[in-house]
Structure 1
Amino acid sequence: MAEQRPGLMRPFPVTTGVSAPVAAPIQPSVVYAAQTPDALDAQYEGRAEGHTYAREGHPNAAALAARIAAMEGCDAGIVTGSGMAAVAAALMGLLKAGDHVVGSDQLYGRSLRMLREELPRIGVEVSLADATRAEALAAALRPETRMILIETVSNPMLRVADLEGIAARARGVLLAVDNTFTTPRALRPFEHGADIVIHSVTKLLAGHADATLGWVGARDAGLAERMESFAVTLGLTASPFDCWLAERGLLTFELRYDRAEATAAALSDRIEGMPGVTRVLYPGRADHPDGLRAAALLAGRFCNMVTFEIAGGRAAANAFARAAGDAGLPMAPTLGDAGSTLSHPASSSHRGLTPEGRAALGISEGTFRLSVGLEAPEALAGALLRGAEAAAAA
């Protein structure tokens, strides 16, 4: 398990006289006054600390960015207005026309759309490859390849990337890793060869489904500066209030993660025996296709996500979602809330793919992804069983 740096769990102090607030303050100001033009020059040139205009940064974003950087083990990162804004800062902030990028073919649906639809519009060529096989991804590299983008554990099929094998074969190509599902509680990709790490802070780090944020950091200061410049220019700005909510959420992050992960592991076994369930995917299970790699790479930490498939197509999926929702387990296109949620990738995260494209990834109309929260395991098992019985009846 990755160790966190000391001092993470308390707010960064803001002194007021001889005392400092225990809770981090919200600072919503859009504009910050400078005493003189020379003082403003000093800020922009990095000779003095301070803020100018909220699009370029503000105290709450700076505090949250520093906390996540400490968790991931890098010097600095930037907070963005969403997880996809963080992906954009890495891809579009660092790539140019004529470059080539290799992405995992198991990426989150919107990340796949950015690779397939948006990057080609600006002249960046894209190839997709199986990130669970380092040799397959390495075979897709070209002389003009500038970046590789993978997820540590993929969304939604929970495949585990061969991170160390890919890093060893990158041959100077930048390796960007989306670490949203595993978080630095389970893995710190910089320690395994990553150059760039990305988070949808909206999910497990903030953890309460009330803040939309992203984070991206780099080992190299020059890369970090270029991504920050791109984010500032395009206005990928995070709200001070959302940053404050996420910083508060980090105070309970370890407790939330550990509880949800333990429940997910137990539920994966319970789901397997439910009516109509044809497949269960959880990286900690012995029957997971990447189970050996997950055990070695993640050192016993596997995430809070369980993906499963039920028989019967869309009619069964509708029945499952309705019955589980009536039992208190809602279906929603999100993850990482303190409460558990179901997701149906075919109608949400991966709806932009053709049925054939989804099938190639292993996603069917009966595929559900469960983001496990803090409820009692028995209550969740009961809701899932009601859903499975309704689907079987349908």
Structure 2
Amino acid sequence: MSDPEFGGHPNLVRRTAFPASVSRAVVTPLQPSVVYSSPDPDALDDQYEGRAAGYTYGREGHPNADVLAKMIDSLEGGPTEAGQGGIITGSGMSAVTATLLGLLSSGDHIVGGNQLYGRSLRMMTQDLPRWGITSTLADPTDVAAMEAAITPATKLLLVEVVSNPTLRIADMDGIEKLARDRGLILVVDNTFTTPYGFPAFTRGADVVIHSVTKLLAGHSDVTLGYVRARDPAQRNAIYDTNVTLGLTPSPWDCWMAERGLYTFDMRFQRAQENAGTLAQLFADHPAVDAVLYPGRSDHPDHNRAGALLDGNWGNMLSIRLKGGRAQANALTRAAPQVAFAPTLGDVGTTLSHPASSSHRALTPDGRAALGITEGFFRVSVGCEPISLLEQDFRFALDAAAAVT
């Protein structure tokens, strides 16, 4: 049909207003628009200069990212003043990238935990040096080692509370004091522990990072990151770097992550309970040489974990089989319903084999120094019925034990 108001032409192109309504959507609307229209240049000035709230271009921010950021802010606690809210990025590594490039300059030095996520380690040791930023890796369970790595050029400490994949617990109290005494920025990657396991801001972090891809979103169907800084100037530096480098989150992924976050509490508790039960099952099986789970009294950092995590031991555990690669192959083949995939935090349980994935670039001696053998597995425990997981893993462990 034609519309007389438009000279008989159909009213199809950017002319149909969104229907007005006295009711509101219960579900957050998905807004994939790349650009936003302002009434005039003065209104655009007001937005850019902070006198009015609004959106301009999707790379600079959009409603779905802001909704998700506020949800994670509420989990993390910490500062509530304007200009200190979290920033959603396109991935966990983009959050790390925006933070390090936003806060560091040529000539600066960074001290990082020596068992950070693999790509974080690569960035520190191979990529940042190309911009004149150097780094030293140290054991975060040993504050003296962290302190010894500090130089006059050190500006920032980057740590994870729980290491990947050996699940050692950083001395966060000591590291926090060290950062304060030396005037350093303390950045905590809180992906493994989540805000439920470790409230990083209330424990002294200056900057908190998450790979939202993992347990927060929880369904392996989005790729997102989150970063939040206590200091507004640092927050602005990270934001500007994120926008300039185009580390933009997708509205769709933000919308999906919001949907996943609504069940985070239930998923976290269920997966954590499952992990504790599986840790005991593994410990009782003759095919297993060692179980690494912070909730177990035989974990080397159990007491520290108890003080830091307040009984939230998490959903991650690692095991070391008595055998090597042949037994590892047998275990994964005998448990086809447990995804053998280098990820974590999914609603379903996944198995990761560091020797063939995250730590394959290390020499055998380098892996051995970390306790990572060919029979070493990291288990990201999901929310399946525990009886099903026990059945799957008993069968898989029996298969591994049968290999000579």
**2:204 alignment counterpart:** 193
Residue in 1 aligned with 2:373? 364
1:1-394 superposed matches below 5 A: 17-74=21-78, 75=80, 76-170=85-179, 171-325=182-336, 328-394=337-403
| Higher-Rg member (1/2) | 2
- Letter of the 1:249 partner, please give it: G
**Amino acid in structure 2 at the alignment position of 1:162:** D
CA displacement at 1:16 relative to structure 2: 5.8
Deviations 1:196-221 (A, max 9, x none): 10100001100111011010101111
Letter of the 1:227 counterpart: I
Cα distance in 2, alignment partners of residues 46 and 16 from structure 1 = 28
Letter in 2 for 1:207: G
Could you tell me how far apart the structure 2 residues matched to 1:45 and 1:362 are?
A: 53
TM-score, normalization by structure 1 = 0.93
What are the ranges of 5 or more consecutive residues in structure 1 without an aligned counterpart? 1-14
The amino acid that maps onto 2:102 is G
Q: CA deviation at 1:17?
A: 3.6
Instruction: Give the distance between the partners of 1:93 and 1:390, measured in 2 at CA.
Output: 50
Contact kept? 1:55, 1:235, Cα under 8 Å: yes
Superposition deviation, residue 114 in structure 1: 1.0
C-alpha displacement at 1:265, in angstroms? 0.9
Letter in 2 for 1:107: L
SS in 1 for 2:157: strand
- CA distance in structure 2 between the aligned counterparts of 1:191 and 1:353, rounded to whole angstroms: 36
TM-score (ref. length: structure 2): 0.91
Aligned counterpart, 2:3: none
Identical columns (%)? 58
1:159-217 Cα distance to aligned partner (Å, 9 max, x none): 11111110101121001001111111121111111101010000110011101101010
Aligned equivalents of 2:228, 2:124: Cα separation in 1: 20
Q: Is the 8 A contact 1:109 1:352 kept in 2?
A: no
Paired residue type of 2:53: E
Structure 1 residues 140 and 16, CA gap change in structure 2 (3 angstroms): farther
Give the Cα–Cα distance (whole angstroms) in 1 for the partners of residues 361 and 35 of structure 2.
Answer: 39
For 1:357 and 1:88, the matched residues in 2 are separated by 26
The letter of the residue matching 1:65 is A
How much is the aligned-residue C-alpha RMSD, in angstroms? 1.3
Residues 290 and 16 of structure 1: CA distance in aligned 2, closer, same or farther (over 3 Å): farther
8 Å contact 1:271–1:381 — kept in the other structure?
no
Encode CA deviations 1:350-377: one digit per residue, 9 max, x unaligned.
2233333222222221111111111111
Describe the superposition over 1:213-245 as per-residue Cα deviations: whole angstroms up to 9, x where unpaired: 010101111111100100100011111010001
Partners of 2:158 and 2:370 in 1: CA distance: 17
Secondary structure of the corresponding residue to residue 369 of structure 1: strand
Q: Deviation per CA, 1:65-107, whole angstroms, max 9, x where unpaired?
A: 1111121114411011111111111112211111010000111
- Give the whole-Å Cα distance in 1 for the aligned partners of 2:92 and 2:70: 17
Q: Distance in 2 between matches of 1:44 and 1:355?
A: 53
- What is the deviation of 1:47? 1.4
Q: Give the CA deviation at 1:153.
A: 0.9
SS in 2 for 1:47: coil
Q: SS of the counterpart of 1:97?
A: coil
Structure 2 stretches lacking a partner, 5+ long: 1-18
Deviation at 1:338, TM superposition (A): 0.8
Structure 1 contact 56–232 (Cα < 8 Å) conserved: yes
Shift of 1:381: 1.5
Aligned equivalents of 1:360 and 1:114: distance in 2?
22
CA distance in 2, matches of 1:321, 1:181: 23
Distance 1:360 1:18 in 2: 64
User: Shift of residue 311 of structure 1?
Assistant: 2.3
Distance 1:357 1:16 in 2: 63
